[in-house]
Amino acid sequence: MRRVLCLLAVGLVATLVVACQAAIPTPTPAPKQAAPAAATAAPKAAAPTPTTAAKPAPATAPATPTAVAKPAASAEQALYEAAKKEGKVNYYSPSFTDEELALLTGGFKKKYPGIEVAVVKVSSTNTVNRILTEAAAGRLTVDVATAGLSIISPLLERDLLLSFDWASVADIPKESISLNGRFLAAYDSPYGWFYNTRTVAEADVPRKWEDLLLPKWKGQKLGIATVSSVFGFEAMNIQGTWDRQKYELFLDGLKAQQLAMETNQPLLAEKVASGELHMGTSTLGILTSIIEKGAPIKIASLSPTVVLRSGVYTPKGAPNPNAAKLFTAFLASKDGLELWNKTGRGPAAPCDASVPAKMLCDAKIQLVFEDGAEKTKQINELVDLNRKLLGIPTK
């Protein structure tokens, strides 16, 4: 009996041993399953990282304005706080009236209180020369300036313009940002010729560019502003109607008319309005305010004409870098563009885009836009030719 029991016990133990050995492989896959489980868990743990990183992306994506708001507001606020610590921004402005400047700077100070705008009235060309001189000396006074693309070429060549992610701090149209963020378009500068309606009979108004060479316009009757040396008729060469030889012959004929030369456009416009000069040329934005005040001035239908792209920029090494960025962004933002329109500037097309646009449409003038680097290069070459053949002082 004992022997039987012993045999049974031995059998039971053997069975248990076998069972235990059979059970051992079961935990073995567990680590294998745990490994995938850990791998699966890893992405879950990391999942918040891409989600968080993705949130700021729409800030620079103009296609999703709703998503832009929060990141842009945060970046804008941070820039504003930094700008307030600087307290002011130096704005080098071309020939804008005090009323126009008050409109632009007042709009900025209303939106961003605590930052003063110190305005320095100087031509765009002289501002560029100033930046070149100060940059060489390693000490700048210019924070923000306004100019046309063709005028800032020397700064671009020397890499003196600040590049920035402007869309992250303001609601700026995508098409306004150019030159890799170094220039923000604010308004168009169409050039036109205008005359005094009291001293020039309608029948005598030039209808084509060649009419400016008629004997009736000789002897200090036509005036030009030397500040930019762009006069509109450059479009004839740019679009191929005049080759270089014909363009130079036109300039020779124009010089023979004994042109009156003024240093700035507002003064020239005033002389035409007073009757001291019969005709003159300038950007049309200069004329809107004096026409509204009742000046006897009208646009001549000389076509085609050049439209320069004007805007704002900040030089590298600006003394108040944060205030400079904030003011530059504001002037090119939708709020700023509304103010430019109120000054009589704005897009040159379509007809209802701005006051100058309507003037151009009413006069049926074809426009040749400065819409790329090649056009800018052509304009610069023609400006140099204008100065040389018309005898315009370079300084």
Residue 296 and residue 320 in one domain:
no
pLDDT at 72: 58
Q: In which band, very low, low, confident or very high, does the pLDDT at 274 lie, cut at 50, 70 and 90?
A: very high
The arithmetic mean of pLDDT across residues 255-282, rounded, is 96
Output 303 or 345, whichever has higher pLDDT.
303
Phi/psi at 319 (nearest 5 deg)?
A: -65, -30
CATH number for position 199: 3.40.190.10
Residues 369 and 272 in one domain: yes
Give yes or no: residues 107 and 150 share one domain: yes
Closest listed residue to residue 255, CA positions, set 394, 393, 390, 392 = 390
Q: Which residue has the higher pLDDT, 55 or 322?
A: 322
Give yes or no: residues 181 and 213 share one domain.
no
* CA–CA separation, 195 and 273 (whole Å): 8
Mean pLDDT along residues 325-346: 94
Same domain, 298 and 331: no
In a domain, residue 3? The reply is: no
Whether 315 is covered by a domain: the verdict is yes
Which range marks the domain in which residue 222 is found? 189-307+346-390
Residue 49 lies in a domain: no
Instruction: Tell me if 72 sits within 8 A of 59, measured CB to CB.
Output: yes
For 131-186, the three-class secondary structure string (H helix, E strand, C coil) is: HHHHHHHCCCCCCEEEEECCCCHHHHHCCCECCCCHHHCCCCCHHHEECCCCEEEE
Q: Judge if 326 and 376 occupy the same domain.
A: no
pLDDT classification of 42: cutoffs 50, 70, 90: very low
**253 in a domain, yes or no?**
yes
Could you tell me if 371 and 209 are in contact, meaning their C-beta atoms sit under 8 angstroms apart? no
Question: What tens digit of pLDDT does each residue of 291-314 get?
Answer: 989 999 999 999 999 999 999 999
Both 161 and 245 in a single domain?
A: no
Structure confidence at residue 150 (pLDDT): 85
Kindly report the pTM of this predicted structure. Answer: 0.73
The answer to whether residues 231 and 110 belong to one domain is no
- 3-state DSSP call for residue 280? strand
In a domain, 62, yes or no: no
Residue 303 lies in a domain: yes
Which of residues 201 and 36 earns the better pLDDT score?
201
The string of pLDDT tens digits covering residues 67-101 is 334 445 699 999 999 999 999 999 999 878 899 99
Given a cut of 70, whether residue 46 has pLDDT beyond it is: no
The answer to whether position 52 is within a domain reads no
Total domains, the chain? 2
Tens-digit pLDDT profile for residues 375-395? 999 999 999 999 999 999 876
Strands 305-313 and 367-369: parallel
Give the pLDDT mean for 349-360. Answer: 91
**242 and 365 within one domain:** yes
> Is 176 found in the same domain as 194?
no
Buried/exposed 146-166: b ≥16 CB within 10 Å, e otherwise: bbbbbbbbebbeeebbbebeb
Domain shared by 178 and 123, yes or no: yes
Q: Is residue 45 part of a domain?
A: no
pLDDT at 395: 60
Residues 172 and 272 in one domain: no
Q: Tens digit of pLDDT for each residue in 153-185?
A: 999 999 999 999 999 999 999 889 999 999 999
Task: Write the CB contacts of 212 (distance below 8 Å, at least 6 apart in sequence).
Answer: 193, 206, 222, 254, 257, 302
